[in-house]
A = this chain, B = another copy of it.
Amino acid sequence: MKELPIGIFDSGVGGLTVVAEVINTLPAEDIIYFGDIARTPYGTKSPETVRRFSIEIAEFLIKHQVKMIVVACNTASSLALATLKERFHLPIIGVLEPGVLKAIKSTRSKWIGVIGTQATISSNAYPEAIKTMAPDIQILSQPCPLFVPLVEEGWLEHEVTKLVAQEYLIPLKENQIDTLILGCTHYPFLKGIIQAVMGDEVVLVDSAIEVAEETKKVLSQNNLLRQQNPNPTYKFYVSDASSKFVEIGKRLLGNEIQVVIQVDVGGQK
């Protein structure tokens, strides 16, 4: 079992930030990644549809004999994690809880801000998770639907992106939050602009590092941690052809991203 790969999925390219951190933290593990770029984005879709897509992808990964699944997409983590855990009998973690734990540790003012896609924010998953763990903390949530298309357009430093960030974030800044959860795997690409609007005193929580640590912990607890592997393999599956996927992948992962295979998950049923 220890020799089996870890399965990681996202609606598209965002989850590759998690892959990069998992490789750093767990260099002996093989990884199978699935990016659902034919149906991206998830953040504007209904809970039922995000659940259905997530189940299809989990089935695909399990067919490829993964020992564990990391849901590297905040929308799918918010809406589908409970369903997946109920349905499949292997360790499954999302990106939500590790980020929440980090934020609770970080806040002094006891006010935490959360930004994410419309679906993530509407799900109320972040406030619910925080309230369960730390009932005294106040939470301010803000959907930022234009951040993903702006990242996809590559306008990472653009005047327009600054204006959009101001529009979304000023209401959060006007309150006393001292910690802001980047509740979408795309948002770390906009860290510079977000930090500039929020001010240096606000801590930005990027879940990727936390998720990698949590992956290690869960593998270890289940006696699934691989110790030795001179040639770890990384396989990338996508549901659509995309030069952008390879391009962003190379930027994040360098030569680790060699082969990208296109498969049709929805049609496999």
Identify the A interface with B (CB < 8 A): 37-40, 44-46, 48-49, 52, 145-146, 148-150, 152-153, 159-160, 163-164, 167, 239-242, 264, 266-267, 269
Bound: A54/B163 CA distance, A: 37
Q: Are A38 and B49 in contact (CB under 8 A)?
A: yes
Q: Among B46, B239, B266, which residue has its beta carbon within 8 angstroms of that of A267?
A: B266
Q: How many copies does the complex hold?
A: 2
Among B45, B150, B152, B241, point to the contact of A38 (Cβ < 8 A).
Answer: B45
**Which of B38, B145, B164, B242 meets A160, CB within 8 Å?**
B164
- Across the interface, do B163 and A152 meet the contact criterion of CB distance under 8 Å? no
12 sample A-B contacts, Cβ–Cβ < 8 Å, listed by A number: A39-B39, A46-B242, A48-B241, A49-B240, A49-B241, A52-B264, A145-B149, A146-B153, A148-B149, A160-B163, A163-B163, A267-B269
Tell me which residues across on chain B come within 8 A of A38, comparing CB atoms: 39, 45, 49
Q: With A40-B44, A52-B267, A146-B160 given, can you name 8 additional A-B contacts, CB distance below 8 Å?
A: A38-B45, A44-B152, A46-B240, A49-B241, A146-B149, A160-B164, A266-B267, A267-B269
Identify the closest chain B residue to A39 (Cβ).
Answer: B39
